[in-house]
Amino acid sequence: MRDILHVDLNNFFASCECLVDESIRNKPVAVCGAEEERHGIVLAKNYLAKDCGIKTGHTIWQAKQLCPNLVVVKPNFSLYVEFSKKVRKILLDYTDLVEPFSIDESWLDVTNSKMFGNSIQIAEDIRKRVLQETGLTVSIGVSYNKIFAKLGSDLKKPNAITQITKQNYKQVVWKLPVSDLLMIGRATTKKLNDMGIYTIGDLASLSREFLVQKFGKNGNLLFEFSNGVGNDVVKNYYDFIPPKSIGNSITAYKDLTTEKEIKEVIATLSQSVVARMLESGFIHAKTLKLWVKDNALESFGKQCKFVGESNFDNITKTAFLLFKELYDWHLPVRAMGISVCDFFDGSQQLDLFGSVKQKQSKLDRQVLNIKNKFGETAVMQGSSLFDKHLGEPLGGLHAYQNSKNDKS
C-alpha cells in the first residue's frame, strides 16, 4: 500500500501578498487579474475577503459591493513563484517523488520515506516547516492514492491534515458530491445527476462496465476514482523535460469583429501562457508569436522580440500591437493563438514545475471550467486560469464549442 500526500497552500496568492505587505495583513484582500480595474476578476482572496462573500471569478466591481474596504492587489507572479519554490524545496527533502499539480499544489509519494516517520508524521512535519520557514499555511491530504489525497486536502483548511484510509474512506468520501472528485466538471456532474447519481458513494455503486458504456474510456477513471482503486503514480520531480515553447489558442464562439474583443481574447491567452511559463519554471522569454485565422479559415502569423519583460501585461500589450500590424480586418476573426519561446537567463530559470503536456490540457480544461462556472464573458476577460478544479476531461477537449452547450 502506498502513502501519498497532497499538499495544498491555502489562499496562496493572497497569502503571499499579505506576507510581504504587513499593512494589508489584517484587511480583506483580493488579488485581481486584469489591468483595467473595471474588468478585473478576483483570482484569489484571503479569509477576511471570503467572509464578506467574495468568490473567485467575481469582478472587482461586484467584490467591492460586497466589501467596500476591500484591498485590491495586482498579481505578482514572480513573488508567487518564489514562495512556491521555497515550499517545493521543503517537500523535496522528503522524497524525489514530488509531482506539482499547480503552482500551489503537489503530490508526494512518501512510501519509501520511512526514515522521516509515517505518512502522518511527515505531513505534520511539512505543515510545521512550511509555516515556520515561509509563513504560509497548508492543508494536507494523506491517503493511499492520489485522488483521495487530493480530496483530503480540501476537507479541512487552513493549516490542517486529513487522513483518508482504506478503513474510513466509505464514511469520509462517499457522502461527498461527485463534483468534489478531481476531473468531474460541470457537464459530467449534470450527466451523473440526471442518472440519479449525486454522491461519490452513488458513483461507486455502479459497475465499471456500466460506467464505460456510459462514458467511454473515462468510465474506467470514474470507477477507479470513486472506489479509490486508482494506481496513478506520483512522478519524479527531476524527470521533467523543459518545453521549447509555450502557447495557447482559442477558437471563438462567434466571429470576432472588434478590437475590444481581440483585446479580451489576447488577455485570456496571455494569462494561460504566463501560468504555463511559471509552472514550467520560466520567467522570461525573448520571442512572442501570434497567429490569426479569419472566418474563411486562412491563417496569418507574425512574431517579434519582447521589449522589456515577458510578463502578463507585456505579453498582452505586445500581442495586441502584433495583431494591429498583422491583420487588416479583411474578414472577421475566427481563431487566435499566441506562444512564447527562447526562454533565457539560466540564473532566473526556476525549479521546474511539472510536466507541460499535462498542464496544457489541464489549463485548456480550466478555461472551459471557468466558462461553465462564470459564463462566457468571464473567460473572454481572462479570468482565473488558476482555478484548481479541472473542467471536463470526460467528453474530450473540443472544449470551446461544447462548453456552450454545457451551460444550458
- Which residues form the catalytic set? 105
Among the residue ranges 1-9, 84-92, 229-237, 301-309, the one whose residues contact Mg ion (CB under 5 A):
1-9
Nearest to Mg ion of 104, 387 (CB atom): 104
- Taking CB atoms, the residue at the shortest distance from Mg ion is 104
Strands 285-294 and 299-305, by their bridges, are antiparallel
CB of 44 to Mg ion, least distance (A): 9
Which cell numbers in the block locate residue 254? Answer: 462567434
Q: How many residues in the shown chain lie near Mg ion by CB under 5 A?
A: 4
Residue 279 sits in the site that holds Mg ion (CB under 5 A): no
Task: Please state the closest distance from residue 370 (CB atom) to Mg ion, in A.
Answer: 16
- DSSP secondary structure letters along 141-159: EEESSHHHHHHHHHHS-SS
Strand order in the sheet with 160-163: 98-102, 105-109, 4-9, 138-143, 160-163
Would you put residue 117 in left (φ > 0), alpha (ψ -120 to 50) or beta? Answer: left
- Left (φ > 0), alpha (ψ -120 to 50) or beta: where does 57 sit? left
- From 128, 195, 115, select the one nearest 161 (Cα to Cα): 128
Contacts with Mg ion, 10-39, as mask; x by CB under 5 A:
--x---------------------------
Cα–Cα distances in Å, from 291 out to 204, 255, 386? 45, 15, 24
Taking the least distance from each CB to Mg ion, the nearer of 101 and 215 is 101
In terms of CB distance, is 102 or 226 closer to Mg ion?
102
Nearer to Mg ion by C-beta: 104 or 109? 104
Strands ordered across the beta sheet of 71-73? 42-45, 29-32, 71-73
Mention every residue, 6+ apart, whose C-beta is less than 8 A from residue 207: 223
Three-state DSSP string of 11-31: CHHHHHHHHHCHHHCCCCEEE
Q: Choose the stretch contacting Mg ion; rule: CB under 5 A; options: 85-93, 97-105, 182-190, 230-238.
A: 97-105
For the bound state, the minimum distance from the C-beta of residue 99 to Mg ion, rounded and expressed in Å, comes to 15
Q: To the nearest whole angstrom, how small is the minimum distance from the Cβ of residue 10 to Mg ion?
A: 6
CB of 149 to Mg ion, least distance (A): 14
Pick the binder of Mg ion from 3, 5, 6, 8 (CB under 5 A).
Answer: 8
**The one segment of 6-14, 29-37, 243-251, 396-404 that binds Mg ion by CB under 5 A:** 6-14
Closest approach, Cβ 105 to Mg ion, in A, equals 6
- Cβ–Cβ < 8 Å for 214, 258: no
Which one of residues 99, 104, 109, 279 is an interface residue with Mg ion (CB under 5 A)? 104
Q: Which amino acid is at 119?
A: S
Scan residues 359-388 and list those touching Mg ion (CB under 5 A).
none
Q: For binding to Mg ion (CB under 5 A), which residues are involved?
A: 8-9, 12, 104
